[in-house]
Structure 1
Amino acid sequence: MSCCLMGDSPLHESPIGRAKAQANYAVSVESGMGMLEYLLALLVFSTGMMGLMSAQLVAKKVVHEASQRSTATALGRDIVEHMRTNSGQLEAYRALAIGDTTQLLPLPNANCDISTCTALQLAAFDLWQWESNLLGLSGQRNGASSGGLVSPRACISTDDGEVAVTISWLVSSVVHQPTPLTCGADDIGSEATPNGSNDDTLQRRQLMISTYIGRR
């Protein structure tokens, strides 16, 4: 009578071996699910961080543009007050393209902060000092100018007591505004650096202050 011996065939697995195989499979599935959850969490976190960084960049740009406009407003009011103090020489304050680094105003003959000046000398000194403030030359930090406006252009016109101070400066913005008619409209092409899209195209912002100054 022949006898059949049970070998290691998979058809005759022992209960213990089957339990071990099932346990190993369960551990493998759990490990795979844990890795997938980790990758999904990493993707969500990375997307959130990219959105946060983008929002911070936009906020910094908005704050910088607001700061530039505030600076331009303060500088415009400053020169108007100087003109009001020296109202007898309003015509001497007429100027175009103030702030153009290729043709800066000449150094005045007298420093009216420390010496007595005539009304005409005071006008020349006020304009020279104002241009320095526009460019931020009055404040130096690590050898570079601090403050002032980005590539400013300013014009001052007077007509029988009617005074108009126009200031323009460069910004990087997606918000379009009409091209300035004066003070920087001609040279914007040489300073703007469009990148093929409208996202980071340099353009000019413009501020105008109009007032009346009576002669004394």
Structure 2
Amino acid sequence: MKPSDHLTPCPQSICTRSRGFGFSLLEVLISVLVFSIGVLGIAALQLKAKQSGYEAVQRTIASSLAAELLERMRLNSSGTSLINYVTANGTQTLNAASPPAAAPDCSAGCTSTQIAALDLRNFWDALNGASETRNGNSTGGLVNPTACINGPADGSPGTYTVTIAWRGQADLTNANASTCGQGSYDGPSGTNGYRRILSITTWIGP
């Protein structure tokens, strides 16, 4: 007699149940895998949505500040006072390396030149979020902003443009022809890959 002859055959109900348990475990593993892939997809979607929302907020800030500066220029447009905004060559560029002068003290009144200096300083501080700080560091405004103000070199009535450039989060192909901030936002895709830019142009008369 062989030793195997003493083994009790597996009852059909038990064997079937064991095979069923095996299939259930496999199904659970597949479900976990599918669920994990779905969770990763949702996480990536949320990250993309957060980046897009942040980019939209940055563009809204730039648009608001550019429009506000143009209105301040319109209010201070008597005579040739506009030359204080564009300088003698018709262009003024403000960035971290070349910020505007400190704001003058206008407690006893300001000349048109001092008003322009005050406008430019306030504009620059708002771009950098100077009014929103944490531990002494600015937390608002735009990321690495550059502002360019263009108009007639003699400050006469004409077309004036305020252009604001800043650093975005994603590297994109930048086809904008503006030279504002040129070369300061390069990325893997090429020149100005991280540059975001907004321009507002208007006519300012006497």
TM-score, normalised with respect to structure 2: 0.83
CA distance in 1, matches of 2:98, 2:51: 30
CA distance in 1, matches of 2:205, 2:10: 103
1:119 is the counterpart of 2:119: no
CA distance in 1, matches of 2:6, 2:24: 34
> What are the equivalent positions in structure 2 for 1:204-215 lying under 5 Å apart?
204-215=195-206
CA distance in 1, matches of 2:177, 2:61: 19
Tell me how far 1:202 sits from its aligned partner: 4.4
Larger deviation, residues 63-72 vs 156-165:
156-165
Match of 2:54 among 40, 53, 64: 64
Tell me how far 1:27 sits from its aligned partner: 4.0
CA distance in 2, matches of 1:109, 1:11: 106
Does the Cα contact within 8 Å between 1:96 and 1:155 map onto a contact in 2? yes
> What are the equivalent positions in structure 2 for 1:8-47 lying under 5 Å apart?
9-11=3-5, 17-20=8-11, 22-47=12-37
1:164 is the counterpart of 2:161: yes
Tell me how far 1:146 sits from its aligned partner: 2.3
CA distance in 1, matches of 2:69, 2:195: 21
Counterparts in 2 of 1:12 and 1:154: CA distance versus 1, 3 Å: closer
Tell me what 1:107 maps to: 102
Provide the aligned C-alpha RMSD in A. Answer: 2.3
- SS state of the match for residue 188, structure 1? coil
CA distance in 2, matches of 1:42, 1:187: 46
> What are the equivalent positions in structure 2 for 1:124-135 lying under 5 Å apart?
124-135=117-128
1:78 is the counterpart of 2:68: yes
Tell me how far 1:61 sits from its aligned partner: 1.1
Tell me how far 1:36 sits from its aligned partner: 0.7
Does the Cα contact within 8 Å between 1:172 and 1:202 map onto a contact in 2? no
Tell me how far 1:116 sits from its aligned partner: 1.4
Give the fraction of aligned pairs with identical amino acids, expressed as a percent: 35
CA distance in 2, matches of 1:12, 1:168: 87
Counterparts in 2 of 1:41 and 1:146: CA distance versus 1, 3 Å: same
- SS state of the match for residue 178, structure 1? coil
CA distance in 1, matches of 2:6, 2:140: 86
Instruction: Structure 2 unaligned segments of length 5 or more: list them.
Output: none
Tell me how far 1:179 sits from its aligned partner: 4.6
1:145 is the counterpart of 2:141: no
CA distance in 2, matches of 1:206, 1:90: 23
TM-score, normalised with respect to structure 1: 0.80
- Partner amino acid for 2:146? R
Tell me what 2:38 maps to: 48
Tell me how far 1:8 sits from its aligned partner: 7.3
CA distance in 1, matches of 2:165, 2:92: 12
CA distance in 2, matches of 1:143, 1:202: 30
More helix per residue: 1
Does the Cα contact within 8 Å between 2:174 and 2:193 map onto a contact in 1? no
**Count of residues paired in the alignment:** 194
Larger deviation, residues 30-39 vs 123-132:
30-39
